[in-house]
């Protein structure tokens, strides 16, 4: 072996990537060649210097400081947003003009695909009505209007999340729909029907769209707001929202549940752990552990809130990541409670059955003991 060849292979040798024969060959050469030995020694020295340089560990509060920094930056004054919004509106107007002029074909493509989608998957409805002013009605859990807001600027971000993120075709459709929604918003041809706060109580969110080629569509969304913990934040960050579709099956279950058409099955005790590590952020992490299978379900809500009125949906703040954080030991569970849930079963039109946890049934104990099969 020549020195040149040896030096080419030195890194692979150091990293232990050479197979038996090649390693032996290199070893033989190194034994007899002092310059190559010196080269190897220098490389090893450099490697140990590099290893030695990568030894620093930050303070314990480093991660919390970074998260705080992000939150502070997110909460910068609205003035800048307003300026940005103004610029964005100008940009949106230009884009909308371009879209209206040149995207009839694209819109046709989107809606054509959408029609196929309707036939294959589920019914989605769009309604289109030109609108220039928005009046947003905020409803509480009983459906009463508690506040009306007049919104002068359209939302700037629309995200459509399909329920099966793995399905690329559906993702592509979602992107197209998102583009159509953005175009409609940029052209101010939309109207909010009924956004509801708090987000986990949102029953329905309807868009009305005018497409460039005059197609009339209405769409209902199940929606949630991101990172909104109070009324003030809601009003300030009204423009940033997240739209998530409520699956048809879930709607049917919700309807059956509201009509109390479930069959009471049994009670289940759930151990609830609480984590107060997020208290500094004004939130509370509640983690349930099923006593039967040990499965964890996390839920985030503002401190001091009533979970039935102001709570956040379980996936609102990335609960899976919180679970991961608990497993990683980044979050500690500090309190514990045992709660009783009443499990019901509903049968959907397609014959499938689903379980849900509801309120205690009248004479719960009797039913639980005697006639568990009785249909409500």
Partner 1 sequence: MSSSLTDRECVERCLDGRPEAYRHLVSRYQGPLLSYLVGRLGDPHQAEEAAQEAFVRAYFALRKLKKPDSFFAWLAGIAGRVMQEQYRARRRQAKLAGRVAAHRSAIGEAEEVELGKSVAALPDVYREVILMRYYAGLSCAELAGRLGVPIGTVTKRLSRAYALLRKSLLPRETRSEHKVQP
Binding residues for partner 1 (CB under 8 A): 8, 10-12, 15, 17, 42-43, 46-47, 49-59, 62-63, 65-67, 69-70, 73, 159, 161, 226-227, 242, 315, 317-318, 320-322, 324-325, 328-330
User: Would you say the C-alpha torsion 262, 265, 269, 275 has a positive or negative sign?
Assistant: negative
DSSP 279: G
Distance CA 63, CA 53 (A): 21
To partner 1, the closest distance from the beta carbon of 242 in angstroms equals 6
To partner 1, the closest distance from the beta carbon of 211 in angstroms equals: 27
**Cβ distance to partner 1 smaller for residue 47 or 261:** 47
The CB-of-43 to partner 1 minimum distance in angstroms stands at 6
The single-letter DSSP state of residue 78 is H
Helix (H, G, I), strand (E, B) or coil at 137: strand
The SS3 assignment for 315 reads coil
Query: Is residue 305 classed as helix, strand or coil in its secondary structure?
Result: coil
C-beta of 315 vs 355, nearer to partner 1: 315
Give me the least distance between CB of 134 and partner 1, in Å please. 23
Q: Judged by CB, which is closer to partner 1: 62, or 105?
A: 62
Two tokens, residue 347: 């049968």
**Shortest Å distance, C-beta 50 to partner 1:** 4
| 364 contacts 267 by C-beta, under 8 angstroms | yes
Comparing CB distances to partner 1, the nearer of 328 and 373 is 328
Please give the DSSP secondary-structure letter assigned to residue 230.
S
3-state SS, residue 205: strand
User: Rounded to the nearest whole angstrom, what is the least distance from the CB of residue 10 to partner 1 in the complex?
Assistant: 7
Of 314 and 368, CB closest to partner 1: 314
- Do 343 and 356 contact (CB within 8 A), yes or no? yes
Q: Cβ closer to partner 1: 112 or 165? A: 165
């Amino acid at each position: 072996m020549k020195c040149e060849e040896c030096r080419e292979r030195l890194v692979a040798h150091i990293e232990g990537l050479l197979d038996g024969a090649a390693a032996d060959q290199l070893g033989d050469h190194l034994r007899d060649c002092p310059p190559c030995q010196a080269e190897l020694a220098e490389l090893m020295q450099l490697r140990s210097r590099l290893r030695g340089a990568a030894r620093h560990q930050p303070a314990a509060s480093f991660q919390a400081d970074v998260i705080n920094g992000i939150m502070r930056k997110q909460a910068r004054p609205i003035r800048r947003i307003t300026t940005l919004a103004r610029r964005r509106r100008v940009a949106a107007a230009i884009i909308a003009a371009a879209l209206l002029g040149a995207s009839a074909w694209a819109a046709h493509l989107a809606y054509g695909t959408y029609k196929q989608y309707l036939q294959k998957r589920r019914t989605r409805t769009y309604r289109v009505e030109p609108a220039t002013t928005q009046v947003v009605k905020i409803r509480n859990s009983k459906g009463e209007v508690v506040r009306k807001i007049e919104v002068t600027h359209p939302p700037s971000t629309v995200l459509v999340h399909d329920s099966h993120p793995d399905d690329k075709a559906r993702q592509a459709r979602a992107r197209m729909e998102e583009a159509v929604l953005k175009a409609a918003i940029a052209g101010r041809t939309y109207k909010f029907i009924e956004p509801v706060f708090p987000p986990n109580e949102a029953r329905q969110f309807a868009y009305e769209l005018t497409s460039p080629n005059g197609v009339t569509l209405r769409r209902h969304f199940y929606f949630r707001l991101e990172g909104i913990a109070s009324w003030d934040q809601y009003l300030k960050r009204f423009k940033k929202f997240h739209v998530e579709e409520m699956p048809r099956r879930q709607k049917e279950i919700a309807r059956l549940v509201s009509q109390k058409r479930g069959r009471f099955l049994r009670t289940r005790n759930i151990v609830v752990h609480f984590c107060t590590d997020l208290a500094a952020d004004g939130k509370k992490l509640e983690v349930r552990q099923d006593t039967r299978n040990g499965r964890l379900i996390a839920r985030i809500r503002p401190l001091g809130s009533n979970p039935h009125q102001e709570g956040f949906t379980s996936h609102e703040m990335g609960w899976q990541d919180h679970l991961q954080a608990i497993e990683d030991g980044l979050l500690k569970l500090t309190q514990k409670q045992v709660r009783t849930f009443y499990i019901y079963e509903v049968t959907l039109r397609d014959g499938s059955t689903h379980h849900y946890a509801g309120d205690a049934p009248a004479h719960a104990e009797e039913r639980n003991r005697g006639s568990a099969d009785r249909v409500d």
